[in-house]
Amino acid sequence: MNPADCRILVVDDHALQRLLLVRMLGALPVAEVAEAGNGDDALAQISDAAAPFDLVITDLDMPGMDGMELARRIAALTLPPPVALVSALDSRILASVGNLSRAAGGALQSILPKPVSVDALREAISRIGQPRPASVALPGFSDAELAEGLAAGEFQPWFEPQIELGSGEIVGFEALVRWHHPTLGVLAPFRFIEQIERDPALIATLTDSVLRQSLAALTHWQAAGYCGSLSVNLSPLVLAEIDFANRLCAIVAEYGIAAETLILELTESAAANGSAAIENITRLRMRGFRLSIDDFGTGYSSLQQLSRLPLTELKIDRSFTSRMREDPVSRAAIESSLHLAQRLSLRSCGEGIETAEQVRELRWMGCLVGQGYLFTRPIPGEQLLDWLAHWPTRRGTLIEEWRAD
């Protein structure tokens, strides 16, 4: 969304703190800033507003309803605005508040340490409209609606490039599903994937469909000279289906694609998912597919479980990338993940790169490959060759930026 159109609600029991925030927001191109002195007033303003708020910035520590409770109650509204929590607490405590509030409803968008800077506010505003966690209370879909959409071919992969951070070369693309909904427009996975993943038949259909469309696109790109990889996301549920590896091999063979070209992204819970999953994973690796552990560090698997998987790549979750600058715990998580990747000879891939500074830091810490909005938002398949043709020019500018001191 255009920041100049956005409406922000500032919630703080201290009038002076509120005034400071309102002043800082006044220096940014936003449409309107409203104020509330407590959580009840904030909820009333959100419900009564003629036009919805695009962001609520609230203090964490308030008498009565504190910022966490307010975030939880906002999450329970239909179409809740994102919430940014402001606090003077130590960043480690803040990280746990972040996890808590995400678990409690997912309206939380960012945490702003006190004293709040104009840059931090600008960043929080720039995140408005980006996908938030699956638990946000948005209107759901029935299984029948999802099945109909799948049957009608409304679920299509978009593609996000993966860049070798040393050279700026494109080394691969990750397929990310989008639902081209007939009335609601293009929907990102957080609106539907959790529900699809609850039903083995639905997730099997979605996986096959995304895979077939991605392979068809890949044959087209290869004919035009592309020689990188293609990554696809696999849900733990499809891996638990005993015949999955054989089915996947048959599909890939139909399109005449070499197994080595495909990178199958698993989540940490795949490792803990029983013997069928381990059998599938091992068989796929034996057939030559590459295997990546997605969102590394966000699950609950032990190193022992992970060491049972014949992995070739480790992906650093974007939550760590986005917080590494201000949060030493995220930075430490990245450093130890990269160390582990090196020791196990895995390729490392950093997700969610949005700034040249993040590229510089990740490279410095030893990360080989990266992806994120800095390079581009996910691209519809039919626009990909065009985007690739323009990459060499864009690459030159970006490399200069991330190599600059």
Rounded Cα distance between 228 and 226, Å, is 6
The CA distances from residue 316 to 157, 324, 326, 336, 340, in Å, are: 22, 11, 17, 11, 11
Residue 98 interacts, among Mg ion, ligand C2E, none and using kind-specific CB cut-offs from 5 to 8 Å, with none
- Pick the binder of ligand C2E from 199, 241, 354, 357 (CB under 6 A): 354
**Nearer to ligand C2E (CB atom), residue 154 or residue 354:** 354
Minimum Å gap between C-beta 403 and Mg ion is: 26
Regarding beta strands 108-113 and 83-87, do their DSSP bridges make them parallel or antiparallel, or are they unpaired? parallel
- Pick the binder of ligand C2E from 172, 189, 297, 350 (CB under 6 A): 189
Is 292 near ligand C2E (CB under 6 A)? no
**Nearer to ligand C2E (CB atom), residue 81 or residue 352:** 352
Is 98 near ligand C2E (CB under 6 A)? no
Is 106 near ligand C2E (CB under 6 A)? no
Q: What is the number of the residue whose Cβ is closest to ligand C2E?
A: 372
The burial class, CB within 10 Å (0-12 / 13-18 / 19+), for 26 is exposed
- Pick the binder of ligand C2E from 318, 320, 323, 370 (CB under 6 A): 318
Is 295 near ligand C2E (CB under 6 A)? yes
Residue 391 interacts, among Mg ion, ligand C2E, none and using kind-specific CB cut-offs from 5 to 8 Å, with none
The CA distances from residue 351 to 13, 180, 211, 347, 356, in Å, are: 37, 24, 21, 13, 13
Considering only CA atoms, which of 296, 376, 368 is closest in space to residue 337? 296
- Pick the binder of ligand C2E from 121, 210, 309, 341 (CB under 6 A): 210
Minimum Å gap between C-beta 179 and ligand C2E is: 10
Residue 235 interacts, among Mg ion, ligand C2E, none and using kind-specific CB cut-offs from 5 to 8 Å, with ligand C2E
User: Which 129-188 residues touch ligand C2E, going by CB under 6 A?
Assistant: 130-131, 160, 175-177, 188
Is 82 near ligand C2E (CB under 6 A)? no
Is 218 near ligand C2E (CB under 6 A)? no
DSSP tag of 81: P
- Angle value at C-alpha 334, between 328 and 335, nearest 5 degrees: 85
Residues that bind Mg ion (CB under 5 A): 233, 265, 294-295, 351
Residue 236 interacts, among Mg ion, ligand C2E, none and using kind-specific CB cut-offs from 5 to 8 Å, with none
Residue 162 interacts, among Mg ion, ligand C2E, none and using kind-specific CB cut-offs from 5 to 8 Å, with none
Q: Are 311 and 318 in contact (CB under 8 A)?
A: no
Rounded Cα distance between 297 and 323, Å, is 14
Residue 352 interacts, among Mg ion, ligand C2E, none and using kind-specific CB cut-offs from 5 to 8 Å, with ligand C2E
Minimum Å gap between C-beta 69 and ligand C2E is: 26
Joined tokens for residue 172: 């691969």
Can you list the pairs that 40-48 forms with residues at least 24 positions away whose Cβ atoms lie under 8 Å?
A: 40/64, 40/65, 41/11, 42/9, 42/11, 42/70, 43/70, 43/73, 43/74, 45/9, 46/9, 46/74, 46/77, 46/81, 47/77
Q: Is 240 helix (H, G, I), strand (E, B) or coil?
A: coil
Is 324 near ligand C2E (CB under 6 A)? no
CA 192 to chain centre: 14
The CA distances from residue 170 to 166, 342, 371, 379, in Å, are: 11, 21, 10, 14
**Nearer to Mg ion (CB atom), residue 233 or residue 348:** 233
Interface positions with ligand C2E (CB under 6 A): 130-131, 160, 175-177, 188-190, 193, 210, 233, 235, 265, 294-295, 318, 351-354, 371-373, 378
